[in-house]
Amino acid sequence: MGAEMIPPDEAGREDVVLAWEGVDVVAVRLPQLADSLDHILAAMERRQGRPLADLDRRSKQEVVRILEARGAFAVRHGVETVASALGVSRFTVYNYLNREKGA
């Protein structure tokens, strides 16, 4: 997901500090949600072995279903980001989302 390990003494408020037997050993800096969406899309593309825009309609619908389950559309501009990656319009992504809710 793109997290970064940093020394615990450099941790900020939003970082997660991990301790072992009461001693802080490492901090984890999580990426912003929008960055995570880019990582998720890249991972899905690697798994498919080709650009998401090259998938057929049914496969694109499956990608949208998976992304919705992962909360991708709660991210600001999530629909636009996914639509761009899939090579479709925002309207098409909304149609895919509505199809899932109607099924």
pLDDT in tens, the chain (103 residues): 567 899 999 988 778 899 999 999 999 887 665 567 888 899 899 999 999 999 999 999 999 999 998 888 887 789 999 999 999 999 999 999 987 666 5
Burial-class residue 30 by CB neighbours within 10 Å (0-12, 13-18, 19+): middle
Is pTM beyond 0.75? Reply is no
